[in-house]
Structure 1
């Protein structure tokens, strides 16, 4: 599967990448945001949502587990985005109580800690953020396609 790698990005460059990825986002799919606590997943998600036209407060779904957004997306892009943080999910079956399955074919999902929902949700695109303790202001970013939809998403990004 295709991937893009970017090294030693500062916060502005990570946010710019998020905006570029949002500009070519599909109407529905799942973007998995991976990285340790403090790696910049929520910062990336905020920049992604801002690029889709979300204004006002963008809350972290750390305690609510899901935050829905109706967006003013680019043509052909998402009209609704669900930002999920599954870190506190005790069992993947708890997703049933969140009501997110009903929107799987109609919304774009940004999911932090997708590993908590093994077997229940599948990423189309996996974005990993990492950094070195000696350089907390720099992040490495790897964006990897996991499905044909993810391949098409990365191809649109490369063509942009």
Structure 2
């Protein structure tokens, strides 16, 4: 795993520009594993990253596991218990004609995710860390976000 870029002092209002910057760094057909504590901003980031042409609201797929929005698929593996469940999801079916695949809580299943993606897909990881020492005027903590590339 290689650190590509790091951002510090990121607030919700910075997420749209951060999303655009990340899209300029990573290639199309990229899977992005989102890691961080509950409430660290993984789903909020995903909402800013996904460009839904239809105007559909992006929500956490905690209960459906995978949602499709425009050119992205968004998964939440929080409830998955073992790697065999990833195999049964048939990820390839969700990724036809998609540019990005964002996966919350996907780190424990990295091996299974990579085995179930076509070989042209690259895997990245965004790590979210709450920085409680840096807050805005509303007393909301900032985030430190790191982008890694998996090989």
Same fold by TM-score, threshold 0.5 exceeded? yes
Superposition CA RMSD, Å: 2.4
Deviation at 1:99, TM superposition (A): 2.3
The gaps in structure 1 that reach 5 residues or longer are 72-80, 148-160
Deviation at 1:57, TM superposition (A): 1.2
State whether residues 69 and 82 of structure 1, in contact with CA within 8 Å, keep that contact through their aligned partners in structure 2: yes
Alignment-derived partner of residue 26 in structure 1: 27
Q: Separation in 2 of the partners of 1:94 and 1:9?
A: 34
Q: Could you report, residue by residue, the CA deviation over 1:76-120 in whole angstroms, capped at 9, with x for unpaired residues?
A: xxxxx2100000001211123322134557532101111342420
State whether residues 28 and 106 of structure 1, in contact with CA within 8 Å, keep that contact through their aligned partners in structure 2: no
Q: Separation in 1 of the partners of 2:125 and 2:95?
A: 17
Q: Separation in 2 of the partners of 1:104 and 1:58?
A: 17
Match of 2:150 among 125, 146, 149: 146
Alignment-derived partner of residue 113 in structure 2: 121
State whether residues 7 and 141 of structure 1, in contact with CA within 8 Å, keep that contact through their aligned partners in structure 2: yes
Q: Separation in 2 of the partners of 1:25 and 1:48?
A: 13
Matched, 1:101 2:92: yes
Alignment of 1:52-131 (within 5 A): 53=53, 55-71=55-71, 81-103=72-94, 107=98, 108-122=100-114, 124-131=123-130
What secondary structure does 1:55 align onto?
A: coil
Q: Separation in 2 of the partners of 1:58 and 1:104?
A: 17
Q: Separation in 2 of the partners of 1:56 and 1:104?
A: 18
Q: Separation in 2 of the partners of 1:124 and 1:106?
A: 17
> What TM-score do you get using the length of structure 1 for normalisation?
0.73
Q: Separation in 1 of the partners of 2:144 and 2:45?
A: 13
State whether residues 90 and 116 of structure 1, in contact with CA within 8 Å, keep that contact through their aligned partners in structure 2: no
The more displaced of 102-111 and 39-48 is 102-111
